[in-house]
Homo-oligomer: A and B are copies of this chain.
C-alpha cells in the first residue's frame, strides 16, 4: 500500500438526448487542450476537493456545454492504469437524459465546440470514452425496461407515437404499436388530453398525452416490468 498516493479523480457525463428527427443522441465537446486536442470527448473534469461527485458533474456540464440536468445516475467507475496518458486518473461516470432543444449549447472553458451526435454516428473519441458511451447505452436499454423513461426526454405534451419512436430508438428494434399502447396505458402514468397534435406534413393528427408526474415517479421508484 503506497505511502503517498497520486491519482487524479475525475467525473464524466454521458448525456442522452432524443428528438424524433435525430433519434437518440449524445452530448459531446471538442477538447481544446492536450491530450486529445481537437478530439471529441465526454463533458467532464476533475472533482474539487470539497465538492460532491454529483456536484462536480453538474458543474462541468454547465461550464462546458451550458446544459443543466436534473436527472443523473451513476454509471460506473473506470480506473485502468493507462487510460489517461498523462497520469493515473480514475473517472466516475454518470449518465442522464434531457430534451436537447431546451438548451442552447455553448462551448466554454476547455471546449472549443459542443454538439449532439446520433448514437449510431459517433466521431472518433478521446480516452476510453467510446467504451463509456457504450456502457451507458447498454444501461439505458436495460433501464428503460424496468423503469418508465420518457418524461425526461419528451415534451410535456406529446403524441403517443413519440413515445413509441423513443422506445424504438433506444432499444433499436421495432415495437408493435397496439401492444405497446395497451401495456403502457395499463400502468396509468399516462393521461390522454383532448388536444390534437400540431401537424407537420401529412397524416392524421393524434391526441396529445402527458405524464401524470405522481404516478410516474412512484413507478420509477418501485420499478415496473416492461418487457416489450
A residues with CB within 8 A of B: 1-2, 5-9, 45-53, 74, 76-77, 79-81, 88, 90, 92, 225, 227
The minimal Cβ–Cβ distance linking A10 to chain B, given in whole angstroms, is 9
Cα-based distance from A7 to B92 in the complex (angstroms): 13
Residues from chain B with a CB closer than 8 A to the CB of A90 are 9, 53, 92
| Contact of A1 with B53 in the complex, beta carbons under 8 Å | no
Q: How many copies does the complex hold?
A: 2
7 A-B residue pairings within 8 Å (CB atoms): A2-B48, A5-B9, A5-B48, A6-B49, A7-B49, A9-B79, A52-B81
Chain A interface SS verdict (over half):
loop
Contact of A45 with B88 at beta-carbon distance under 8 Å, contacts A7-B9, A74-B76, A77-B77 already known: no
The minimal Cβ–Cβ distance linking A4 to chain B, given in whole angstroms, is 9
Closest 8 A/B residue pairs (Cβ): A53-B79, A77-B77, A7-B9, A77-B92, A50-B81, A2-B48, A1-B46, A49-B88
